[in-house]
Structure 1
Amino acid sequence: MTVSDATPPSDSILRFTGVSLGYGDFTVLRDISLDVRRGQVVAMMGGSGSGKTTLLRGATGQIRAQAGVIEVFGNDLARTSESQLRSLRQRMGVLFQQGALFTDLNVFENVAFPLREHTRLPEAEILQRVLDKLDAVGLRAAAHLGISEISGGMARRVALARAIVLEPELILYDEPFAGLDPISMGITAQLIRDLTDRLHCASVLITHDVQESFSIADMVCIVGQGKMLAAGTPADLSSSDNAYIQQFIQGKPDGPIAFHYPATPAFDAWLDQSARRK
C-alpha cells in the first residue's frame, strides 16, 4: 500500500468509522464514528478514564483498532507499515500534556528540534521559521531563555510552537489546559483557535475543560460508558437533556458518571491470582 499524500476531496483529515479501541482483551470504547475536517477545532471530552486518551492513541497509530477503520489523511492505519506510519505522523503535531520539552536546550532550540530532525533547511530559514512560530505564541523575545527560566504557562506555549513548527495538517492536544491559571488558559484556547485558522489544519483537543473548549470548538464529542454519548456544536450539547452530558458540563457531583473505576475481566483475573498467592 502507498501512503496518500493528498487529503480526500471532502477535506476529511481524521475519520473513525465504527471503531472499537482497547488494550488486550479489554475494550475501552466501542462503535466510535467521527469525522474531523480541515479548519475544525474538535474537543473530545469525558470523565477521567472514559477513553479520551485512548482515542488520541488510536489516531496516532500507537494502538490499532480492535474493530472498525481509522483513517488519517485518507489512509487506513491498519494497512500502513511502520515506515508509512512515520510518514503520516510527520504531517501531525502533538502537544503532550506535560509539554515534554528538552530541559538542556533553550526555547529556540526546543522549537527548532523537529526542523533539524525532519528537514534539511539552511540555518537562516530555520531561524526565520522558529521565530515566526514563537511570535505566533507571543514568545519571540524569549527565544534565548532556558526552560528553567520560563513559567509553566510559557512552557506550554513553547511546546505549542514546537508542535506547529512543521505546519502540520492535524494537531492533537492532550489536556492543553491542565495546570494553567485562568489567564493562561484563555490565552492557550485562543492560540489553538487562531493557529487552526491560520494553518487551515484540523485540531483535536483531549480535555476536561468545558468553558475554554466550548468557547473555541466547532464540534464537541463526549465519551463515556464505553461509547460516544453525543457529538454536536457547543450549543447543541448545552441544550441536551442527556443526564450524563449535563452532569459533565455542569460539574455536578451526583449523576450517572460513576466515582469508582469499573471492574474488568483483567482486574478479576488479577484479584483471583493475588488471592491464591496468600
Structure 2
Amino acid sequence: MNSSSSDTLLKFESASLGYGKFTVLSEIDIEVKRGQVVAMMGGSGSGKTTLMRAATRQIVAQSGKVYAFGDDLAQLNDQQVRHARQRMGVLFQQGALFTDLNVFENVAFPLREHTDLSEEQILERVLGKLDAVGLRAAAHLQIAEISGGMARRVALARAIVLEPELILYDEPFAGLDPISLGITAQLIRDLTDKLNCASVLITHDVPESFAIADHVYIVGQGKLIGHGAPAELEKSTDPYIAQFLHGEPDGPIAFNYPVTPAFNDWLNTQRRP
C-alpha cells in the first residue's frame, strides 16, 4: 500500500471477502483515517460482520488486500497479528463482559493481560476510562447489578483502556433505549476526538450513525453500493441507498436471503435417498 501518511489506519483495496468458495463481498475499497468516525452500513446479511472479521484478520481476503496500520494483514505471522490486534479495540455487540468479574476488573482485564502496569497505575487508568463513560462510581458493581445500557458503556471503557489507535464497534446501538443510544453515539464521537484514534461502526442504524460519522460506506448485493459524507448520501438518487436510508419496503433490497451454491449443495444432500 502506498500509504501517503500514517493517518490511514485501515484500508480495503479491491478486496473480495467470503468463506470457502462463497464470496460475500467483491471488490471492496474502503479507507479509514485517524480522527475519523467511519460507518460501514448495510442490511442484515449484507456482509457488515464479514468486513469486521477481515479487519481483525479472522479471515483473509480471497483477492485484493486488507491493510491495518500500513501492513498487509494476510502477510503477517501469528505474533504480528497479535501485535496488530493489540493496537485495536473491539466493542462486541453483546458486550462480552465477564459475569464473574465486577465492573472494575472487566475494564482492567486487558491491562493485566497485555501490560506491566502497577496496581496503582491500573487503578488510575481504569477509573479514568470509567469516568469517560460516566461510570466511575459503578466500578465496584457486579455485571448482574447494572443495566444493559450501562453494560455497553463498561464494554466501551474496556475497548478503549489500552488507548487503541483503531476501535471497531459491532452494532453499538442495538438494543439501547433512546437515552442510552444518544449517550453512546456521542461517547463514540467524543472518544474518537480525545484519543485521536479511528472508529469504525458496523451498523444498520442510520440516524445515530449519520449524526456522528465523517464518512459512510454502504454494502449490499455483494458489493460496495456507495459511500460519502452523510449529507451526500442523503441526497443520493441510487435506489438501493434510498431504500436503505429511508426504510422503504419496496426496492432492490430483497427480503429473502439469496440462493447460493452452498445452499444448493446442502439441499441436494438432504434429498438423497
TM-score range, shorter chain: over 0.9
SS of the residue aligned with 1:110? helix
User: What is aligned with 2:202?
Assistant: 206
Counterpart residue type for residue 103 of structure 1: T
User: What is aligned with 2:179?
Assistant: 183
Distance 1:89 1:114 in 2: 12
* Preserved CA contact (<8 Å) 2:218 2:226: yes
User: What is aligned with 1:96?
Assistant: 92
Which sections of structure 2, spanning at least 5 residues, go unmatched? Answer: none
User: What is aligned with 1:37?
Assistant: 33
Give the counterpart of 1:72 among 62, 68, 91: 68
Distance apart, 1:97 and its partner CA = 0.2
SS of the residue aligned with 1:255? coil
User: What is aligned with 1:4?
Assistant: none
Provide the TM-score with structure 1 as the length reference: 0.96
Q: Does 1:275 align with 2:266?
A: no
Give the counterpart of 1:14 among 1, 10, 21: 10
Counterpart residue type for residue 179 of structure 1: G
Counterpart residue type for residue 173 of structure 2: F
Distance 1:31 1:54 in 2: 14
Distance 2:12 2:37 in 1: 16
User: What is aligned with 2:242?
Assistant: 246
SS of the residue aligned with 2:13? strand
Distance apart, 1:9 and its partner CA = 2.2
Provide the TM-score with structure 2 as the length reference: 0.98
* Preserved CA contact (<8 Å) 2:6 2:70: no
Q: Does 1:112 align with 2:104?
A: no
Matches within 5 A, 1:213-224: 213-224=209-220
SS of the residue aligned with 1:159? helix
Distance 1:103 1:142 in 2: 15
Matches within 5 A, 1:31-180: 31-180=27-176
SS of the residue aligned with 2:219? strand
Give the counterpart of 2:230 among 234, 240, 243: 234
Distance 1:131 1:158 in 2: 11
Distance apart, 1:254 and its partner CA = 1.0
Which sections of structure 1, spanning at least 5 residues, go unmatched? Answer: 1-6
Provide runs of 4+ in structure 1 moved above 6 Å.
none
Equivalent residues, number: 271
Distance apart, 1:28 and its partner CA = 0.1
Distance 1:45 1:147 in 2: 30
* Preserved CA contact (<8 Å) 1:106 1:145: yes
Please tell me the root mean square deviation across aligned C-alpha atoms, in Å: 0.8
C-alpha distance after superposition, 1:35-84 (max 9, x if no partner): 10000000000010000000000000000000001110001011100111
Distance 2:83 2:39 in 1: 25
SS of the residue aligned with 1:171? strand
